[in-house]
Structure 1
Amino acid sequence: MDGEPLVRWHWIGDHLGYLRDLALDHAVISLVPVLIALLAAVPLGLLCARLPRLYQPLAAVFNVVYALPAIAVFVVLIPYTGLATRATVMVPLTCYALAVLLPATVDGLRAVPEDVRQAATALGYGPWHRLAAVDLPASVPYLVAGVRVAAVSSISLAAVGALVGRGGLGYLFVDGFQRTFPTPILAGIALVVLLALATDLLLVLARRLLAPWAAGGAR
């Protein structure tokens, strides 16, 4: 209607608890898959670094998965994981995050200079000790850079899950569209952006704590 404000602030004020719950649900369904993918990417990356022939076909598989439209994957999973369940959204997001984190892990491990590895071996470091003390710490900037990309992407894609009944802040987009009511849509956009920015900031701080020598980040 003409003259009607684009944002009804009183609606936001009356629904703060609802918005908080949606934001928390969105954080869970978008960021837990990234954590799971990270836990899987490290051992897979180690294996690929030791067996280079395995890396290319494995990366190709994940690249194909990453190229699949999220909504199509969600729909395909419904008969197996159920409608409006977290699993329907989180399983594809885990695969998408793994497609980003596996190359980041392999690149980080390959970035360790060979003379550094040899020096560690000369000092008496065994394979596992060298891995924990040299290889993994040196790969931290690459890993965190990959996690930043995966996390922001996952936060964005999670909203699509509202179309299959589980999308956190995506509910606001669906609700606003169905009612031709822009306030929930704008609130959802703002909260998704804030969640992505807050997550990215925390990861930048984590990188500075874990790898203070790489303040500029991996490139």
Structure 2
Amino acid sequence: MSTSKGEPNPAKGGYHHGDLGGALVAAGLSILEEGGDPASLGLRETARRAGVSAMAPYRHFPDKDALLAAVAIVGFERLRAALEVADRGGEGAGREALYAQGAAYVAFACAQPGLFRLMFGGARAGGSRPQALCEASAAAYAVLAERVATLLPGEAAADEALRSWALVHGIAALVIDGLLGEAVRTDPQAAASLAGRLLRLEPIPG
């Protein structure tokens, strides 16, 4: 509970979380969901939001990069879940399931722009990525790759999966940065529909 937005309630104590790491990750997610800048997300701000001392995060995360990676991992887990739901809901599976995944990818970025930017840029963008983060990212990508593999054989599937991902990721980045116009940026459904339509422009052979 907070006395005001973003400020912990001293009466709650705050130093005895059963899951300090989880509380800090949840605080980071909350800050991003409220429009916080991934570049400024750090241990001190998340500690304040979680209601713990400024030094408490170091019991779980050795540095800011470790916290950002943990938040990004949750982001990839959520993205993977969204793609899986879209894949199961694709009309008649096959190509329609792939198009549905593309739409879901862009919709996710529109709904969580700060988290999306952190996942693909803010979590150790200039250095090595923790193994757990690489695995979470790969698991999300695998949902798309596995769908494409049902449509094309061998290396052709790998190439098509990469092309499809590059297309929807590029659309997502353009949309959340406002480069496709304000109307699209503020209408997640329109942005998601755009991704599906563009995937259809280059039909998978066969």
TM-score normalised by L of structure 2: 0.31
TM-score (norm 1): 0.30
Higher helix share: 1
Bigger RCO (CA 8 Å, 6+ sep): 1
